[in-house]
Structure 1
């Protein structure tokens, strides 16, 4: 009987811990309207309700119940290292790359080779682009 009680206690303890999920990712931008055009037109993100309604914020659905929160703050110091990046997964890399080429939008591999795709050892294909403020975005096909 004691192993059963221990097992039930363990199950109860495991289910009582809160799970963590991403709610939103906030990114400071220097020009909100310019960034909104980029995130909508280049990445095709869907704008969602913006709760503050002050002209300094925009919100986009990024899937899984999470949102991208753009905040206009022109004087914020930012880190533009490629190591610090947002990553979006897409179902069709070839179509996305073709779209980048048709818009003449620059992209590069992890190594920095312009117009090239990185083929990771796990088979995932990835490219890197910059948003209007110079932040790096990884786009990969691990959808």
Structure 2
């Protein structure tokens, strides 16, 4: 009887461990860039992200808070060998897409829909609206209207 109970307890523990959720939270996204000043200023002045200090005050990094504890990290390197595919992008959500588009236009920042039509907005089947733009080193950024809690 003790062996049966022990086997049941072990089976339940194994099942419980395999069913655990890791409860991930989004932490950060990183871009490697050549011109840290120009790209950092774009995220600070155009996207209006709040710049936060790097823990070591390393001049080769610029960090920005996106929301809560989520961050964007820019890493300055002398050489960057990247292919800038639109499928690889930072995505930010806002309920104020029209205001953001007006801000882009005021600052002469080009944007497009997913196919690449200038000044157009993609309307996804789920009702989310989205646009795409590039930072000064051609890294893609999506801005959409997805609702987050």
Are 1:30 and 2:34 matched, yes or no?
A: yes
Alignment-derived partner of residue 41 in structure 1: 45
TM-score normalised according to structure 1 size: 0.86
Matched residue of 1:99: which SS?
helix
**How far 1:77 sits from its partner (Å)?**
0.9
Please point out which of 131, 135, 138 is paired with 1:131: 135
Alignment-derived partner of residue 56 in structure 2: 52
**How far 1:129 sits from its partner (Å)?**
0.2
Gaps of at least 5 residues in structure 1 are none
Alignment-derived partner of residue 142 in structure 1: 146
Consecutive aligned runs of 4 or more in structure 1 exceeding 3 Å deviation? 8-15
**Whole-angstrom distance in 1 between the partners of 2:104 and 2:58:** 32
User: Which structure's CA Rg is the greater one?
Assistant: 2
**How far 1:79 sits from its partner (Å)?**
2.4
**Whole-angstrom distance in 1 between the partners of 2:75 and 2:27:** 16
**How far 1:103 sits from its partner (Å)?**
1.1
Gaps of at least 5 residues in structure 2 are none
**How far 1:12 sits from its partner (Å)?**
8.5
Alignment-derived partner of residue 61 in structure 1: 65
**Whole-angstrom distance in 2 between the partners of 1:138 and 1:13:** 35
TM-score normalised according to structure 2 size: 0.83
